[in-house]
Amino acid sequence: MTELDSGLLSISLDSDSEPDSTGVPVECTPSAPSRADRTALSDSAFQRLKETYKPKVENGEIRSTVTFPVGTSKPEAQEILHAAEELYFFRRYEEAVKFVERVFSEGDGKGEENLDGDTKRLLRHYEWKARGRIGDSGRENSTP
């Protein structure tokens, strides 16, 4: 063996799928159960869950679930952003502008301080786009 063979860059490329003494490939079995094994439900458990399941229907009313003044947590920021997006995409532009204005003015004008930079930027973007749609009646009826 040379000095290079036993050095730092010496890598052994043994494979778990090489044949054993009988000629049959040795397979590597995972030590932890797969995701499907962990999340699988029995049929009766699935039926019970299915009976209680109610799909979430987004119909332009996310804003009614937002609590004011706005908090500083990421889930609260996401909910506010989703509410503004939803109003915009349902073409409720005036409501979207009023909602964003309220978000920024709540809490003695500190609503803006509670939001991270990306959320503030996106809210201002939706406010700007909605104002543009309100001001341009020809585009208001076109697709967003």
- CB neighbours of 91 closer than 8 A, spacing ≥ 6? 133, 140, 144
Tokens of 36: 């499907």
Alpha-carbon distance 86 to 144, whole Å? Answer: 12
Contact in structure between 106 and 76 (CB atoms under 8 Å) = no
pLDDT for the residue 84? 92
Asked whether the whole model's pTM tops 0.85, one would answer no
Mean pLDDT of 69-90: 87
Tokens 């439900």 sit at which residue?
41
| Residue extents of the structural domains in the chain | 73-138
pLDDT for the residue 25? 52
Alpha-carbon distance 63 to 112, whole Å? Answer: 17
Which range among 27-36, 59-68, 99-108 shows the weakest confidence by mean pLDDT?
27-36
Tens-digit pLDDT profile for residues 24-57? 555 544 455 566 655 677 888 888 888 887 766 6
Q: How confident is the model at residue 144 (pLDDT cuts 50, 70, 90)?
A: very low
